[in-house]
Chain A
Amino acid sequence: MSNVIGIGAAPKRKEDQRFLTGRGNYVSDIKIPGMTAGVFVRSPHGHAVLRGIDKTAALALPGVIAILTGEDVAADGLGTLPCGWGISNAQGVPMKEPPFPVLAQGKVRFVGDMVALVIAETPEQANAAADLLDIDYEVLPAVVGVLDAVAPGAPQLFDDIPNNICCDWELGDKAAVEAAFRKAAHIAKLSLVNNRLIGNPMEPRAAVADYNPGTGQHALWTTSQFPHVVRTLMSGLVLKVPEHKVRVVAPDVGGGFGVKQFHYGEEAALAWAAKRVMRPVKWVASRSEGYLSDRHGRDHVTEAELALDETGKFLAFRVKTLANMGGYLSTFGPNIPTNLYAPLLGGVYTTPAIYCNVKVVFTNTVPVDAYRGAGRPEATFVLERMVDVAAAEMGIDRVEIRRRNMIPKEAYPYQTPVLVQYDSGDPMGCLDGALAAADVAGFGARKAESARRGKFRGLGYSTYVEACGLAPSRFAGRLGARGGLYESATVRVHPGGQVTVLIGTHNHGQGHETTFAQIVSEKLGVAFDNVDIVFGDTDRVQFGMGTYGSRSLVVGGAALSKAADKVIVKGKKIAAHLLETSEQDIHFEAGKFSVAGTDRVKTFEEIAGAAYVPHNYPLEVLEPGLEEQAYYDPVNFTYPGGCHICEVEIDPETGVVQLLNYTAVDDVGTVINPMIVEGQLHGGIVQGVGQALFENAVYDDGSGQLLSGSLMDYCMPRADHMPMMNIATHSTLCTHTPMGVKGCGEVGTIGSPAAVINAVVDALSHLGVTHVDMPATPNRIWRLLQNASLPIAAE
């Protein structure tokens, strides 16, 4: 059949036709007759008692329809924002789970905490009313850092949560680790900070809510990565309305990176308010509002110790981390620095004993949750920095120490001491590939050339693995997940043989409409142009858990593959009837059902036609129509990984770190569309470089003000920061996903920060520098050089 574009091809992205011609349909494009404007009034204080709100003056302004506060939320009996994970300490004591009201009640706990929703005819009128809202705050001292938050005498966010500790969590065999440390030939130690990040999807968050009193139906258009989950959480737990009376639509969404994979208070507040005022309400965040309300990422303070024998073999790894949760628990909050962190501390190494303790801590900051990579970049950074520190201390080459500890390809499947079992992988192969691609052999000459120009050149490695394809539901349930993590897909074959796929994942930049169409085109032999992918609307798509955790292809693609298989099975039955043979004799390949060993053939279109015009059809045993659905729950995580090598040059006069070369050889399993995979790696790597060199969310202690409150102060990586990247794949096939895929959305972000910082430290190692915290800004590098008492080269 013509125009089959299957697995391994790199067609241009289907969705770009509408994006690049301005035909996308984003939440802020949505207009409903009678629509009003909603503006959220947010706390200007990091920590304060909310003593009272006087609406009088604001309500008197023209165009103001309603001003809703926490009191109204309470009066209407709304539930609080749910946390999707419940973790426990080693004794099984559940985490402290304070209520997270839709609008603040009694207290505000971070700058940006929502205090009121103002609804007016226009945004200007709503803003004017917001300005006039008289809110009486009793300002309290705010605490923003985890070390300060757990210190004696720290401001307490919640009366019943001593020392602001949500959960004192642990994983691993503490006794075995201690025993290994006692017999270690060398113990390497490292203290580090994993800097707090703010996600920056191109499109800020937005939502439009509507209510139809005639049907009792709520509708919510929202910038979400998982509309069905928003519907489930919001309807049942917050609004307390039946789920079938709520429609949630996430139309075109301009990027997510995790920021849009939570159920936000704005969504529930708008849906509730639309019913109260009996008018549609629209809210669109500004970038600055997003900085104060989008969930942030990372923010760890960690101490790590690695025990080694005299040959540099890792005996045990011990990690203690304080993880910032912000002012409340967000949807996945407590899961990220625990279940998505500690199980990755084995990395690609055979370390036999690992223990990790994580204190999950409340502070007066925006709630912290998943951000691209989510826990796994933090784990990779600790481990890969630790390996470099140990290598330096023991005088072992950094590549050699990795080789000595790497899991050999033959040892897979490999059970780590921290829950996870890697099904497949070849870290040594990725390392060898990257060493060649990065011309590591020529590095010495390049370093000498830099030195002649007065510059310091460094090389950094990160050999890493991550857990993707979230997630096997039963396993996740044991770890505290309160929901399932499967995915669903429907393959709807139309009478003409074209296909519409209804899938529960959400495409917001990943190219699903292309990748998934390739899968269908390959499996069913249908033209690529005759496959459309539908997602993001709970009224159209059966169900789904959405897109995050590099799960869309791994879990959603598997559901799609299964559904397509069911279509083939039914098609064979129809073909057998039409070709007057038995089902077992029908062979399906490249869009043709044929009788094995003959030239008798029915095309896919003919079978579809027969299914919908069932005149000659086995109606007694087979339903008409050709539409199949599958749910897929993965049996394990997938474990992409690889080797990243970064080469930097530092100007000692200014402290500027320049990226010169970046090489990544990754094992992402089967590649469906190499162009899209490369794009995912490019973006992910740049995001990791952003964390390593530029990005830092900074709060002012005491006041809790966000100092990096806009793009003028929060430094995103830009095109001119990056060299051309050298990207390759070295894939082993996942043994348990239908197509051998592993996922690639987060690998770049997970592997890269350690590679960059290891390169920076390498460039400065001759000065005695052993660690550089992220972001490695010019000021920070210069300070290190000052402290190293380097005679700064004056020309």
Chain B
Amino acid sequence: MKSFAYHQPSQVPEAARLLGALEDSKIVAGGMTLIPTLKQRLAAPPALIDLSKLPGLSGIKDEGPTITIGAMTRHADVARSAMLAERLPALATLASLIGDPAVRNRGTIGGSVANNDPSADYPAAVLGLGATVVTNIRDIPADQYFVGLFETALQPGEIITAIRFPVPLKAGYAKFKAPASRYALVGVFVAQFTDGVRVAVTGAGPGVFRVPPMEQALAQHFDPSAIAAIKIDTEGLTSDIHAEADYRAHLVTVMAKRAVDAALS
């Protein structure tokens, strides 16, 4: 690890100001991606801005039609939230499947969504639920937020403060864990709303994406059988030493069926 300056601002505007003022500085939320990157000397930002002392960034709030989760809320807190278990259990399940206990006790929802790892779990929920990414300057709809590989709509100096999830009628998440990393080799989040169904896939490609044919089929008939025959094009899917693209494509259908099953159970 190379040396760096460390800042621990106490207010969001101050954090944003530091982020804008300190060239190449990086935000630390849970640090679950950043710290290993620093330790491996793959990145050497001159300054880190730690968000852990910012007030009001942690917690899960039930707002009726929506649930808002503060950006610094740890995965473990989402996984064990009694309110989510009642109102949006698929999200609690998803959080319980992230990493291992140490990661879940440190990692944050805001950090995960900001990092936008192509195999992370949260992006599937954010896109699958059509959530809103709330930042210090604006609200970004999920459909506009995820841009590409580790790339988001966040502008320089912009800090995620919360994620606001609409509460669906039903939702389910099914994850096929990469054997070594336990990131999603393929993860599918399915959510049914009164006005339609959303299906979001993580892990299979360079970024989270929706599957409109499945969404249409499930809107007609919310049952695994409705999508069993829908195949995903392998074009653009990831191929690596763990899984070839056609296997990932196959898993998308399998995991989508299992997500629907989970939503129905």
Chain A at the B interface: SS class = loop
Q: Which residues of B contact A778 (CB under 8 A)?
A: 176, 179, 243, 247
B55-85 interface mask toward A, CB cutoff 8 Å, 1 = contact, 0 = none? 0000000000000000000000000000000
Q: Are A654 and B181 in contact (CB under 8 A)?
A: no
Chain B residue at minimum C-beta to C-beta distance from A130: B41
Closest to B228 in A: A794
Question: How far is it, in angstroms, between the C-alpha of A655 and the C-alpha of B243 when the chains are bound?
Answer: 11
Quote the shortest CB–CB distance from A690 to chain B (angstroms). 11
Tell whether, in the assembled complex, residue A713 and residue B228 are in contact, meaning their CB atoms are under 8 Å apart. Answer: no
A127 adjacent to B41 (CB under 8 Å)? yes
Which residues of A sit under 8 angstroms from B228, Cβ to Cβ? 794-795
Contact with B along A711-724 (1 / 0, CB 8 A): 11111100000000
Which of B13-21, B148-156, B250-258 touches A? B250-258
Contact residues in A for B2 (Cβ distance below 8 Å) = 124, 127-128
Closest to A287 in B: B40
Q: Which residues of B contact A288 (CB under 8 A)?
A: 40
Closest chain B residue to A653, Cβ basis: B254
Interface: A694 (CB within 8 A): yes
**Identity of the chain B residue whose Cβ is nearest the Cβ of A780 in the assembled complex:** B247
Interface residues of A, count at CB 8 A: 27
**A165-198 near B? 1/0 per residue, CB < 8 Å:** 0000000000000000000000000000000000
**Closest residue to A655 on the B side, CB-wise?**
B247
B1 and A783 within 8 A (CB): no
CA distance A260 to B224 in the complex (A): 52
A127 to B42, CA, bound (A): 12
Give complex CA distance A605, B211 in Å.
81
Partner of A124, one of B3, B242, B254, B257: B3
Report yes or no: A795 in contact with B225, Cβ–Cβ below 8 A.
yes
Given A127-B41, A128-B2, residue A654 in contact with residue B254 (CB < 8 A): yes
Query: Would you call A782 and B247 a contact (CB within 8 A)?
Result: yes
Q: Which of A109-135 contact B (CB under 8 A)?
A: 124, 127-128, 131
Contact B241 A694 (CB under 8 A): no
State the CA gap A777–B229 with chains docked (Å).
24
> How distant is B131 from chain A, measured CB to nearest CB, in Å?
27
Cβ B241 vs Cβ A708 within 8 A: yes
User: How far is A777 from B241 in the complex, measured between Cα atoms in Å?
Assistant: 10
Quick one: given A124-B1, A777-B242, are A694 and B179 in contact (CB under 8 Å)?
yes
Taking the complex as formed, is B143 at the interface, i.e. its CB lies under 8 A from any CB of chain A?
no
Residues of chain B lying within 8 A (CB to CB) of residue A707: 241
**What CA separation (Å) do A715 and B242 show in the bound complex?**
10
Are A712 and B244 neighbours in the complex by a CB distance under 8 Å?
no
Residue B5, interface by CB 8 Å: no
Taken together as a complex, chains A and B put the C-alpha atoms of A795 and B228 apart, in Å, by 8
Q: Does A779 contact B (CB under 8 A)?
A: yes
**Interface residue? B180 (CB, 8 A):** yes
Q: Which residue of the partner chain A has the closest CB to B254? A: A653
Q: With contacts A124-B3, A795-B228 known, is A712 near B181, CB below 8 A?
A: yes
Contacts of A777 in B (CB 8 A): 179, 242
Q: Are B3 and A715 in contact (CB under 8 A)?
A: no
A715-B180 contact, Cβ under 8 Å, with A124-B1, A124-B3:
yes
When C-beta atoms are compared, the residue in chain B nearest to A651 turns out to be: B254
Q: Evaluate contact between B242 and A714: CB separation under 8 angstroms.
A: no
In the complex, what's the smallest C-beta–C-beta distance from A704 to chain B, in angstroms? 15
Which has the most chain A C-beta neighbours within 10 Å: B2, B3, B241, B254?
Answer: B241
* Cα separation A698 to B240 with both chains bound (whole Å): 11
- Answer whether residue A696 sits at the interface, using C-beta atoms and an 8 A cutoff: yes
Given A698-B241, A795-B224, verify A714-B180 contact (CB < 8 Å): yes
Is the pair B242, A713 in contact by a Cβ cutoff of 8 Å? yes
In the complex, what residues of B have CB within 8 A of residue A655's CB? Answer: 247
Q: 0/1 per residue, B221-263, Cβ < 8 Å to A? A: 0001100110000000000011110010011001001000000
Bound together, the chains give a CA A696 to CA B242 distance in angstroms of 10
Complex: how many Å from CA A715 to CA B250? 22
In the bound assembly, the distance between CA atoms of A227 and B72 in angstroms comes to 49
Q: In the complex, which residues of chain A have a beta carbon less than 8 angstroms from the beta carbon of B176?
A: 654, 778
**B41–A713 touching, CB < 8 Å:** no
Q: 1/0 contact trace for B1-27 toward A, CB 8 Å?
A: 111000000000000000000000000
CA of A654 to CA of B250, assembled, Å: 8
Residues from chain B with Cβ under 8 Å of A779 in the complex: 242-244, 247
With known contacts A707-B241, A708-B241, A795-B257, A713–B181 Cβ distance under 8 A: yes
Residues of B within 8 A of A694 (CB): 179-180
CB neighbours (8 Å) of B250 from chain A are 782
A772 to B165, CA, bound (A): 45
Most A C-beta atoms less than 10 A away, residue of B180, B224, B228: B180
Q: In the docked arrangement, what's the CA distance between A778 and B224, Å?
A: 22
A794, closest chain B residue (CB): B228
Q: Give the residues in chain A near B241, CB-CB below 8 Å.
A: 696, 698, 707-708, 713
Kindly list chain A residues whose C-beta atoms are within 8 Å of the C-beta of B224.
795
Which A residues are CB-close (under 8 A) to B40? 286, 288
Least CB distance from A33 to B in Å reads 24
- The answer to whether residues A783 and B180 also contact, given A124-B1, A128-B2, A708-B241 and a CB cut-off of 8 A, is no
Chain B residue with minimal CB distance to A696? B241
Min Cβ gap B261→A in Å is: 9
Tell me which residues across on chain A come within 8 A of B247, comparing CB atoms.
655, 778-779, 782-783
Please, which residues of chain B bring their CB within 8 A of the CB of A653? 254
C-alpha spacing A653/B3, complex, angstroms: 49
A698 to B243, CA, bound (A): 13
Q: In the complex, A128→B2 CA distance in Å? A: 8
Residue of A at shortest CB range from B248?
Answer: A779
Q: Once the chains are docked, how many angstroms separate the CA of A716 from the CA of B179?
A: 9
Report the separation of the CA atoms of residues A286 and B41 in the bound assembly, to the nearest whole angstrom: 12
The docked-state distance in angstroms from the alpha carbon of A654 to that of B185 is 12
A460 to B251, CA, bound (A): 28
A663 to B230, CA, bound (A): 42
Q: Nearest residue in B to A654 (C-beta to C-beta)?
A: B254
20 cross-chain CB contacts under 8 A: A127-B41, A288-B40, A654-B176, A696-B241, A708-B180, A711-B180, A712-B180, A712-B181, A713-B241, A715-B179, A715-B180, A716-B180, A778-B179, A778-B243, A778-B247, A779-B244, A779-B247, A783-B244, A795-B224, A795-B257
Given A713-B180, A778-B179; 15 other pairs, CB 8 A cutoff: A124-B1, A653-B254, A655-B247, A707-B241, A711-B180, A711-B181, A713-B181, A715-B180, A716-B180, A779-B242, A779-B243, A779-B247, A782-B247, A783-B244, A795-B228
